[in-house]
């Protein structure tokens, strides 16, 4: 259920070093099959990388259980948190992960900026991935001495405006009532799920028990792009396509889905508008 951003880089690494990428399967509800994860995890495993929340399905992965199993074998864990940061309060120390990555624009900040958190002891062992100003403490023709963390990984002039905008987004999110947000988003998801289930020709893709505010769906006779076009004409903003998660589409045997995403600023009335727009889709396509 991974986004391409948590697939393609590891495939590139595998080509470079001869490693093997092993994939944890998901069931038809879109949930990680934990028994298979336990079977795949062994003494040869070098890193576990998994999404926190699936952008295509809305599934919230059991990350604490995943991390605990990996930790028992001394295997580091990276979480792709791009979809989690706008929906959950994230405490990397509580999660126990070794790396956590997320982008600014998914948390109502600017594009072109994000965060890669890493545990200090691991970052200390890692070489810089690029050179430039501030990542050095001393340069001679004989040797370059790297700067202390985090500067060792911050070569060149930083994205100053983006960092300021990201900081403002973090401050904004920290000031919200997250218990209230969780309750509101759960209400929206439940309401929308029940409403969409009233359409016999519509199938929801991703029915995990633990989900964030994402509803991906398909029709048995209408392509997702056509659905998205009509919903757009009705003033409803959705995404249609493979959502940079082609293996998910292949798993469920569909070319694409239409995805409605909910956040704390959405309302039940907006879901009613979505339902009316879907009714127009069915009227147009019969």
User: Catalytic annotation on 14?
Assistant: no
pTM of the model: 0.94
From CA 213, how far away is CA 186, in angstroms rounded?
A: 7
Residue 271's SS3 state is helix
pLDDT per position as a tens digit, 117-151:
999 999 999 999 999 989 999 999 999 999 999 99
Helix axes 268-285, 224-233, angle to 10 degrees: 120
The CATH fold of domain 178-285: 3.90.1150
CB 155 within 8 A of CB 134: yes
Give residue 1's pLDDT band: very low, low, confident or very high (50, 70, 90): very high
pLDDT in tens, 211-262: 999 999 999 899 999 999 999 999 999 999 999 999 999 999 999 999 999 9
Q: Please tell me the predicted confidence (pLDDT) of residue 233.
A: 96
Question: For all residues of the chain together, what is the average pLDDT?
Answer: 96
Maximum Cα–Cα distance for the chain, whole Å? Answer: 74
The per-residue pLDDT for 213 is 94
pLDDT higher than threshold 90 for residue 20: yes
pLDDT digits (tens, 9 = 90+) for 39-72: 999 999 999 999 999 999 999 999 999 999 999 9
Closest residue by Cα to residue 217 from 30, 12, 85: 30
Question: Domain coordinates of the chain in residue numbers?
Answer: 4-113+159-174, 178-285
- How confident is the model at residue 6, as a pLDDT? 97
Could you please state the CATH topology (level 3) that the domain comprising 4-113+159-174 is classified under.
3.40.640
The reply to whether domains 4-113+159-174 and 178-285 share a CATH topology is no
Which pLDDT value is given to residue 73?
96
Query: Looking at residues 183-198, what average pLDDT do you find?
Result: 97
- Mean pLDDT, rounded, for 94-121: 96
Per-residue pLDDT for 277 more than 90? Answer: yes
Q: How confident is the model at residue 203 (pLDDT cuts 50, 70, 90)?
A: very high
Q: Provide the pLDDT for residue 286.
A: 76
How many Cα neighbours within 13 Å face the side chain of 247?
14
User: Using an 8 Å Cβ cutoff, are 1 and 30 in contact?
Assistant: yes
């Amino acid at each position: 259920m991974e986004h391409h951003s948590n697939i393609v880089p590891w495939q590139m690494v595998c080509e470079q070093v001869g490693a093997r990428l092993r994939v944890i399967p998901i069931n038809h509800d879109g949930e990680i099959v934990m028994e298979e994860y336990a079977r795949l995890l062994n003494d040869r495993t070098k890193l576990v990388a998994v999404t926190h929340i699936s952008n295509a399905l809305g599934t919230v992965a059991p990350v604490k259980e995943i991390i605990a199993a990996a930790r028992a074998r001394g295997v580091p864990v990276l979480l792709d948190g791009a979809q989690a940061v706008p929906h959950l309060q994230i405490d990397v120390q509580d999660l126990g992960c070794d790396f956590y990555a997320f982008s600014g624009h998914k948390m109502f900040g600017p594009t072109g900026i994000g965060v890669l958190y890493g545990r200090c002891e691991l970052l200390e062992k890692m070489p810089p991935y690029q050179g430039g100003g501030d990542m050095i403490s001393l340069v001679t023709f004989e040797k370059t001495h790297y700067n202390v963390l985090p500067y060792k990984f911050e070569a060149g002039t930083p994205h100053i405006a983006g960092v300021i905008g990201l900081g403002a987004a973090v401050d904004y999110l920290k000031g919200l009532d997250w218990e209230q947000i969780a309750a509101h988003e759960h209400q929206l998801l439940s309401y929308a799920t029940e409403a969409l289930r009233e359409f016999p020709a519509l199938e929801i893709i991703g029915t995990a028990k633990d989900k964030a505010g994402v509803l991906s769906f398909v029709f048995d006779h209408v392509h997702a792009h056509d659905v998205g076009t009509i919903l757009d004409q009705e003033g409803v903003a959705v995404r249609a396509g493979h959502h940079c998660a082609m293996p998910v589409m292949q798993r469920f045997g569909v070319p694409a889905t239409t995805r409605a995403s909910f956040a704390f600023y959405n309302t039940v009335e907006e879901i009613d508008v979505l339902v009316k727009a879907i009714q127009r889709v069915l009227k147009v396509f019969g």
